[in-house]
Amino acid sequence: MSILTRLIALTRGMQLRRQFKDIEKALEQLAPNARRQLAALAMREFSNAAKSEFPHLYATPPDAKYAPWGTGTALGMERMRSDSLQVRLRGVALWLIVSFHETKDSPYPEQRELHRQVMRTLRTLKESANPTDSTDAYFADRTQAA
């Protein structure tokens, strides 16, 4: 049974890593304003997912609660391929949050590595939404000097 579990986890990890590459490409193409919107959406989705009973099954229908993984990442990828920017941003945010929770406490090294990459991406988004303190201090000093 442990071999089967390991095989399922390995397959899922490969699927998530392949999807993450598409997510990274989509993030590279975003304008700074869209990245800020995405950061706000991701933080909102993160808050909503954290409130749910099973955060890794966020955006999954209740009847699929006993599946090995939820449908949130698939739904996020589907939305990411939309022509509408808002739908794409919501899809990317959903994928990032669900994959974060899905890989969070994984005993498998491949999924832990993916979790670190997703965390890095979320941190980068958060930093792009909030200007750094040093920039604020720089401009505050310049306005006081003038």
Q: In which band, very low, low, confident or very high, does the pLDDT at 145 lie, cut at 50, 70 and 90?
A: low
Res. 132: pLDDT tops 60: no
Q: What tens digit of pLDDT does each residue of 81-122 get?
A: 999 999 999 999 999 999 999 999 899 888 999 999 999 999
How many structural domains are present in the chain?
1
Looking at per-residue confidence, does 101 or 146 come out higher? 101
pLDDT at 134: 45
Three-state secondary-structure class, residue 29: coil
DSSP 69-136: S-SHHHHHHHHHT-SSHHHHHHHHHHHHHHHHHHHTT-SSHHHHHHHHHHHHHHHHHHHHHS--HHHH
Residue 136: other Cβ atoms inside 10 A: 11
pLDDT mean over 123-141: 67
Q: In which band, very low, low, confident or very high, does the pLDDT at 77 lie, cut at 50, 70 and 90?
A: very high
Looking at per-residue confidence, does 10 or 68 come out higher? 10
Q: What tens digit of pLDDT does each residue of 20-63 get?
A: 999 999 999 999 999 999 999 999 999 999 998 888 889 888 88
The domain in which residue 113 lies consists of 2-145
Residue 74: other Cβ atoms inside 10 A: 17
What is the residue type of 142?
R
